[in-house]
Chains A and B, each alone.
Chain A
């Protein structure tokens, strides 16, 4: 089902992931979050931006365990743990945050 972002209709797959990585603008995250009744705080954006950078460098969406470890390294131990990330993204930090960041579903995600 396509989503409406800045007056443009963007293609997504059946799970709501952007069909075209290059379509992503920050408003995509806001729109996707609203569809799941979620409000995005600074803390959410920190993770979303981190994922964008990770993808830019490695061309993949990281598995949750890898994301958690990498966040810990970059943003500190209090944020690099599953509990913190699950509280921000209750549908799973891998799946949900990657979706908001416009990335594909993480490889190895079950």
Chain B
């Protein structure tokens, strides 16, 4: 028996990619994805996040949800670094279509083309779409 403070034996590490394509608040996808990302990271897995299509609004700066009576979960994306989730990618085309730039986003991300994202997706063991 190991003491409770001793780390568990390391298990297999898989490459997980989470693809976020939905605006926050209108549906529950964004929040659900974030929860699963945190759980996956707590299990020391290799996690990548992609924000594309309306998913880019999930990390838009300046979200104020008092008026709609829902919890503003956007600050949690800034906690990801502490969970060692540092691979955040944004689809350039999605940003351009919406008139947004890196300046509008509340976390540091790498902006990639669809071809580059497709290559990354190809390298994964598990791809989860939200």
Contacts and interface: CB of A to CB of B under 8 A. Distances in A.
Q: Do A and B come from one complex?
A: yes
Interface of A: 57-60, 62-63, 65-66, 69-70, 81-83, 85-86, 92, 107-109
Interface residues of B, number: 21
B79 A86 contact: no
A1 to B, nearest CB: 25
Contacts of B79: 57-58, 60, 62, 66
Q: What are the nearest 8 A-B pairs in CB distance?
A: A108-B42, A82-B5, A58-B79, A108-B39, A63-B42, A86-B5, A83-B5, A107-B38
Contacts, number: 52
Given A63-B42, A66-B82, A82-B7, 8 more contacts: A57-B75, A57-B78, A59-B72, A60-B79, A86-B5, A107-B35, A108-B38, A109-B42
Contacts of B73: 59
Interface in B1-50: 3-7, 35, 38-39, 41-44
A82 B76 CA distance: 23
Contacts of A83: 3, 5
Nearest to B78: A58
Among A62, A82, A108, A109, which residue has the most Cβ atoms of chain B within 10 A?
A108
B57 to A, nearest CB: 17
A6 B110 CA distance: 50
Interface in B61-89: 71-73, 75-76, 78-79, 82-83
Contact of B83 (A59, A63, A92): A63
